[in-house]
Structure formats: C-alpha cells, structure tokens
Amino acid sequence: MKDLFSIKNKVAVITGASGVLGGSLAKSFIEAGAKVVALGRNQETLDARVKELTDLGGDALAVEANVMDIESLEAASVKIKEKYGRIDILLNIAGGNIPAATLSPEQSFFDMNMKGWAEVTDLNINGTVYPSYVFGKVMAEQGSGNIINISSMAAYSAITRVAGYSAAKSAITNFTQWLASDLALKFGDKIRVNAVAPGFFIGDQNRAILLNPDGSLTERSKKVMAKTPMQRFGEVEELNGVVQFLCSDAASFITGALIPVDGGFSAFSGV
C-alpha cells in the first residue's frame, strides 16, 4: 500500500535553514527520507547545519543565497539542479520581526521607524515572493511541486506593536492564495501552495517581549495565554507534522489553504 504521508526522496529547499524553525524542519525532513537543501546567507553556519543532517545519515546540501536577491537565488537554483536535477518542495521559512519595526508599549503608529517598516515588510514579503518566483519556476517546468509559506496569527487580527510584521504576514496569506490559484490554473493540479500560521512560539526574535529575564511571563504573554485554550506556548517541533502533511500526497487536493498551529488561539474569543 502506498504511504500517503511519505516525502521520501523529495528534494526540499528550505530558506532560513540555519534558524531554529528551519533547522527543526530540516531535521524532520531528513528523518522522513527527504533530501534537504539548506539555504541561508552564512556559508559557515549552513555547513554546520548540513553536518548535523548528514550525521543523521541524510542527504543534504548547503547553498549560500540571499532570499531578497533574485540573481543569488537563480545561482542557487543552478547548483541545486546540478546536484539533484529537480526541486520538489520549497519551504519559505526565512523572515520574522525585527527590533527596529517593533513599537514600545507607549508608542503609537506615528512613532514608527519607517526604515524598520520597510526592512521588515521587504524581508517577509519579498523574502517569500522571490524564492517562490525562482524555485517555483523549476516546479512549473517539471509539472509538480509544493510551496509552503509561513504566515502568522498577526494575519488573522491585529496584534499590537508589530504593524509592519502584521501587514507583511497578511500579505503572505493573500499571496499564498493568489499563487496557489495561478499555478494550478496555468500548470495543473500537481503544483500546490499552502501556508502555515504558527501561534506563539518562543524564539530569539520574540523572547524579550514574551518572557522576563527570570523566565516569567510578561504582561503581553499573560494576554496571549488568556486567549490560548491550551494554556502554553508551542514547541517548534509541533510545526513539523503539518508541514510534512501538506507536502505529501495525503494533501493532494489542498492548495491555497492557511493552517493554524496555535493551541486554539485563532479559534477562541477569550470568553
């Protein structure tokens, strides 16, 4: 019997592979038998990541590239095709919020650092659009492929202090729907595009606003917990299953979808 959930031997390009989420997904894909291309801006860090993956017995390749530079991505695409001959999966993991685009509790929109706004929207929108443009073209040529984008709870409703990040992730949700429609209409039903919307996970980018120095919850985190029925933060490994599912044949009739992985945050009114 065919394993509907298998991604074995699939070639998966993961942007932001040197980060926590990208690293977790890379490991899970290797363990599932996929071939992983770790993409990032620092070759040394990528090499270390690939060593971790090959030590697990996996097939992995480190490729230095900038997700906001088309020429850099096209050069990466050539290297990947030279080694593997195809690209089956693209995980657009690179992105996130930045301090320069984060308002303090006392600030309003009119205190926004507009350079920070431009940087965070560029990173999160074009940092997904450009890889989709370059690697999606390979999928169109071969007639099959899967693209997974990362949206956010901030795309569902307003989250204070992170206007640029929120706007960018809302754009990613819409872009996912648009690209899913375009690729299916133009290139057939074997190319799918979906997005995952993580709830609240502790990471380097948000640790300072979610946890106090002693590890206790900040006032912001207490509000998050009040609206999260599961009453905890997510563990990064809890994103792996839904991403693998979306990339497998088990999800063959799913495209343009946004899947929340949030402990119930998006479902609960708070009352």
Whole-angstrom Cα distance, residue 153 to residue 196?
10
Active-site residue numbers?
A: 165
pLDDT of res. 41? 95
Following DSSP, what letter does each residue of 23-55 receive, concatenated?
HHHHHHHHHTT-EEEEEES-HHHHHHHHHHHHH
CA 199 to chain centre: 13
- Using CA atoms, how far apart are residues 201 and 221, in angstroms rounded to an integer? 11
Q: Are 150 and 93 in contact (CB under 8 A)?
A: yes
Q: CA-CA distance, 248 to 113, in Å (whole number)? A: 41
pLDDT of residue 1: 54
In the chain, the N- to C-terminal Cα span, in Å, equals 46
DSSP secondary structure code for residue 188 in this structure: -
Backbone Cα Rg of the chain:
18
Per-residue pLDDT of the chain (271 residues; tens, 9 = 90+): 579 999 999 999 999 999 999 999 999 999 999 999 999 999 999 999 999 999 999 999 999 999 999 999 999 999 999 999 999 999 999 999 999 999 999 999 999 999 999 999 999 999 999 999 999 999 999 999 999 999 999 999 999 999 999 999 999 999 999 999 999 999 999 999 999 999 999 988 788 889 999 999 999 999 999 999 999 999 999 999 999 999 999 999 999 999 999 999 999 999 8
Query: What are the DSSP calls for 206-252, one per residue?
Result: THHHHB-TTSPBPHHHHHHHHT-TT-SPBPGGGGHHHHHHHHSGGGT
Tell me, what amino acid is at 88? D
Q: What is the Cα–Cα distance from 219 to 201, expressed in whole angstroms?
A: 16
CA distance 173 to 4: 26
Q: What pairs with residue 240 in β-bridges?
A: none
Chain centroid, CA 100 distance in Å = 21
Tell me how far apart the alpha carbons of residues 211 and 182 are, in angstroms, rounded to a whole number.
41
Compute the distance between CA of residue 205 and CA of residue 17 in angstroms, rounded to an integer: 16
Instruction: Give the Cβ contact number of residue 48 at 10 Å.
Output: 14
pLDDT for the residue 203:
84
Angle separating helix axes 127-142 and 70-84, nearest 10 degrees = 40
Domains belonging to the chain, first-starting first, are 11-199+235-261 (3.40.50.720), 203-233 (no CATH)
Tell me how many helices (H) and strands (E) the chain has: 9, 7
pLDDT for res 78: 98
What pLDDT is attached to residue 205?
79
